[in-house]
Amino acid sequence: MATDVTAVLRQTYLLRSVPAGELEAIAALSRLRVFRRGQVIFTAGDPGGALMVVVSGRVKVVVRSADGGELTLTIIELGGVLGEVSVADGGPRSADAEALEECQLLLIPQDAISDLCARVPSVAQALLASIAATLRRLTEAASDLVFLDLPRRVAKVLLSQPRDGNGIIQPKISQEQLAHQAGGTRQSVNAALRGFERRGWIEMRDRALAINQAEVLRHFAGP
């Protein structure tokens, strides 16, 4: 198990430059947890406590309104990490995290990461770079919500999804998930998708969605 954990840690942007001995020590302090689909991993306001590495599955990070509205901030996949901000400032969680499917997460104690940052400058630099990337992404998302209409936001979300050789988005994404990422309702997202399909930009079949004209869709979405 230790060898597997070390290999997973080596895949992360944050820890890939850590010397082997240091990485093995971190692996020994870590623990693996399994979360079922739909299970809440943590909620906004919870104590930080640990950095989390996605070993398998996918995790969505969301903010929710008092009336049940939801906005997906990001989806984290294999090798991705959660909780960098709490590690950096010792504060509570700033959003909710939920398992999109059954997943395994490796929990690394916050103190272990803080000590490692003090000893290995490249880890501290990687942590700062990761937080900066998050800030840039959230700034762009906030700008999109203010300045782009919903169809253009939907187009940007579609283009950000992984696709196979036939342009089919994999794994499948539901219209509800699209709505949560684009900041709209399922009904308004459905209307946008139907408009794209009429123009031939996308094709929807058996709950799968294929992008036929990515460049046209990208031009529509804007810079």
Q: How confident is the model at residue 89 (pLDDT cuts 50, 70, 90)?
A: confident
Q: Give me the mean pLDDT over the 49-78 stretch.
A: 91
Residue type at 109 in one-letter notation:
P
CA distances from 155 to 72, 104, 158 (A): 16, 31, 5
What pTM value is reported for the model? 0.84
The tens digit of pLDDT for each residue in 4-57 reads 788 888 888 888 888 888 888 898 999 999 999 999 999 999 998 899 999 999
- Cα separation, 125 vs 111, in Å, equals 17
Contacts with 9 (C-beta within 8 Å, 6 or more apart), sequence order: 15, 18, 23, 26, 27, 30, 53, 106
**Torsion angle of C-alpha atoms 191, 196, 202, 206, degrees rounded to 10:** 20
- pLDDT for the residue numbered 1: 43
- pLDDT for the residue numbered 90: 87
Rg (CA), the chain: 19
The tens digit of pLDDT for each residue in 90-140 reads 899 999 999 999 999 999 999 999 999 998 999 999 999 999 999 999 999
Contacts with 35 (C-beta within 8 Å, 6 or more apart), sequence order: 41, 57, 99, 102, 103, 104, 105
Q: What is the mean pLDDT of the chain?
A: 91
Q: Give me the mean pLDDT over the 137-152 stretch.
A: 94
Domains of the chain, each with CATH number or no CATH = 2-145 (2.60.120.10), 149-221 (1.10.10.10)
